[in-house]
């Protein structure tokens, strides 16, 4: 960001003469080729989500989340009934487009329309969704809504600094690491240092081009294996 000088010779940021607060994300679907995201509905999605999380070999996927694996489908549905009414975080279910069953959840949170800042979080992908093209496309769809549809300036990803898979995922998806907030929060009786990542509107076109190239069917062989990695394709896009 290049600095300007004010009347006192002090450096100041670029002017935003046409800036106005951004709309809040709508409760409407986001459609992709390998997945679709819809507003979370406890009655429609609770049973499938409980089944997919129960299919995991253990509960390590809950370690860095704010809650624990529920004891029953009924208990989980009750939790989702609270989440589905929340405006911030605003939760979505990630669906298999062919079968229609829920494979995971994601949300927008810390939504700041006045400054054009929005965060993605509360990500919990079931075994079928993990490390799949649909997982990547779900994140691309949420970024596309934030930047292209709603005009946000900054898109954030935060996680426990000890959560190595989440930090690696952020970098793979095109986020820039910004640092560690020490002793940021208390989670499950533990102190958490939080790692911060972001993508800005200026960076988004390159990130978007990388997603488009990686998600293209031609990037996968007959066994569904990628031909080129996401980071490589993003770099190749300039």
* Residue 228: Cβ-neighbour burial (10 angstroms; 0-12, 13-18, 19+): middle
- Residues 77-96 have pLDDT tens digits of 999 999 999 999 999 999 99
Structure confidence at residue 52 (pLDDT): 96
Structure confidence at residue 238 (pLDDT): 76
d(CA 88, CA 174): 24
Structure confidence at residue 127 (pLDDT): 95
Indicate the pTM of the whole model. 0.95
Structure confidence at residue 1 (pLDDT): 54
- Residues 163-179 have pLDDT tens digits of 999 999 999 999 999 99
What 3-state DSSP class applies to 43?
A: helix
Structure confidence at residue 2 (pLDDT): 63
Structure confidence at residue 149 (pLDDT): 98
> In three state form, how does the secondary structure of 113-136 look?
CCCCEEEEEEEEECCCCCCCHHHH
Structure confidence at residue 3 (pLDDT): 76
Q: For the chain, which residues score pLDDT lower than 50?
A: none
Structure confidence at residue 111 (pLDDT): 98
Maximum separation of any 2 CA atoms in the chain, in Å: 64
Burial 182-221 (b: 16+ CB within 10 A, else e): eebeeeeeeebebbbbbbeeebbeebbebbebbbeeebee
């Amino acid at each position: 960001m290049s600095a300007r000088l004010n009347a006192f010779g002090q450096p100041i940021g670029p002017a935003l003469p046409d800036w106005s607060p951004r709309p809040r994300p709508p409760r409407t679907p986001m459609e992709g080729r390998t997945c679709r995201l819809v507003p979370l509905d406890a009655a429609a999605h609770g049973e499938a989500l409980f089944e997919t999380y129960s299919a995991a070999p253990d509960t390590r996927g809950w370690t860095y989340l704010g809650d624990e694996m529920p004891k029953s489908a009924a208990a989980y549905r009750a939790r989702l009934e609270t989440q589905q009414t929340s405006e911030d975080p605003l939760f979505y279910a990630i669906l298999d487009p062919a079968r229609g069953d829920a494979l995971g959840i994601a949300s927008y949170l810390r939504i700041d329309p006045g400054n054009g800042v929005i965060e993605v979080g509360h990500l919990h992908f079931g075994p079928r969704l993990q490390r799949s093209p649909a997982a990547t496309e779900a994140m691309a769809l949420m970024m596309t809504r934030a930047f292209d549809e709603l005009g946000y300036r900054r898109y954030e990803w935060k996680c426990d600094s000890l959560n190595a898979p989440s930090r690696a995922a952020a970098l793979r998806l095109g986020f820039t690491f910004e640092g560690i907030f020490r002793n940021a929060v208390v989670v499950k009786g533990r102190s958490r240092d939080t790692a911060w990542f972001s993508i800005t509107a200026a960076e988004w076109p390159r990130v978007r081009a990388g997603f488009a190239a990686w998600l293209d069917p031609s990037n996968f062989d007959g066994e569904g294996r990628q031909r080129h990695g996401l980071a490589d394709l993003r770099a190749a896009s300039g």
